[in-house]
Amino acid sequence: MSGREEAPFAGASAIIFGGAKGIGKAVALEWARRGASIAIADIDLAAAQETADEIIESGGSAVAIVANVLSQDSMQAAAGEAEAAFGSPDIVMNNVGAILNGHPLDIPVEEWHRIFELNYFSIVRSNAIFLPAMLKRGSGHVVNTASFAGLYPYAAGRIPYASSKAAVISMSENLALLLEPQGVRVSCFVPGPVMTAIAEGMKDWTPDLPMYGPGSETSLLDTHTAARVLADGMRDGRILIPTDPVAFDIIARRAADPDTFTRGKIASFASGDVGMPKFE
């Protein structure tokens, strides 16, 4: 590993909410490989322990902590445990997110609230816990996980998800404006399709509504590739970090003519193209 690859990870302490499985697990392994000590804070303590054990077996430092990001008290307790293990976290990743599928009129308002609580307000809670110490120190790095679904319109079957992720992008970029001049870095991780079990147990509110995807120019990635892209982006000082740079081409096309972009999506959905990514 080059010295350049090690920053900002070597010697750092990190906490990852939702770090037990899927993308969060791969990020935990990647940051540990680059020299960070990782607190894996997850509602699934057994899976968090498995991930921590994998890191420790490969020579890294990790601890598993139970945490429910729906509860301020639970997140606060997790922060205390992480600090006791490795000191006040230098890097905080807010990675928990849940999806659903359904026509907006079939989705009860309580479900819209549940999705926003998990995907967006979990980050609001995290900010309240971790930002004061980071600002006092004048250092730290916050990483919030969004989605391609928050970048451009395609996820018509999961509008609560897409709009919560758009809110995560807006929050992250606006936080960067405020915090970066005070020494605290902010990155927004924006995955396209990644192979995980996120759709297992997903609530489907409208039978037969297709699961619309981000388009055939996007690719389905494995979690380790996604985690490497994130770590390289953080190393390179980036704010918005999509898993695939094709995202920038897509949003440039949209910015050039938003209505034509959206009407193009309407036309391709009408033709039966639901926007499946490439399987590589």
Ligand X SMILES: NC(=O)c1ccc[n+]([C@@H]2O[C@H](COP(=O)([O-])OP(=O)(O)OC[C@H]3O[C@@H](n4cnc5c(N)ncnc54)[C@H](O)[C@@H]3O)[C@@H](O)[C@H]2O)c1
Active site residues: 161
The backbone torsions φ and ψ at residue 156, rounded to the nearest 5 degrees and listed phi first, read -65, -20
Q: In degrees, to the nearest 5, what angle opens at C-alpha 177 toward C-alphas 173 and 179?
A: 105
Task: Name the residue nearer to ligand X (CB basis): 69 or 184.
Answer: 69
Residue 43 contacts ligand X per CB under 6 A:
yes
Among 16, 20, 39, 107, which residue sits at the site for ligand X (rule: CB under 6 A)? 20
Residue 163 contacts ligand X per CB under 6 A:
no
DSSP 35: T
Q: In degrees, to the nearest 5, what angle opens at C-alpha 159 toward C-alphas 179 and 224?
A: 60
Task: Name the residue nearer to ligand X (CB basis): 96 or 184.
Answer: 96
Q: Position of tokens 């390179």?
A: 236
From the list 8-16, 56-64, 68-76, 233-241, the region that binds ligand X by CB under 6 A is 68-76
> What is the enclosing helix (H) or strand (E) of 190?
strand 184-190
Task: Name the residue nearer to ligand X (CB basis): 180 or 222.
Answer: 222
Site string for ligand X, 196-215 (x = CB under 6 A): xxx-----------------
Among 15, 16, 23, 39, which residue sits at the site for ligand X (rule: CB under 6 A)? 23
Among 27, 31, 34, 42, which residue sits at the site for ligand X (rule: CB under 6 A)? 42
Per-residue CA distances from 194 to 1, 4, 24, 269 (Å) = 25, 27, 12, 22
Report the C-alpha dihedral over residues 35, 41, 46, 49, rounded to 10 degrees: 20
Among 13, 37, 95, 187, which residue sits at the site for ligand X (rule: CB under 6 A)? 95
Subset of residues 120 to 149 that bind ligand X, contact rule: CB under 6 A: 145, 147
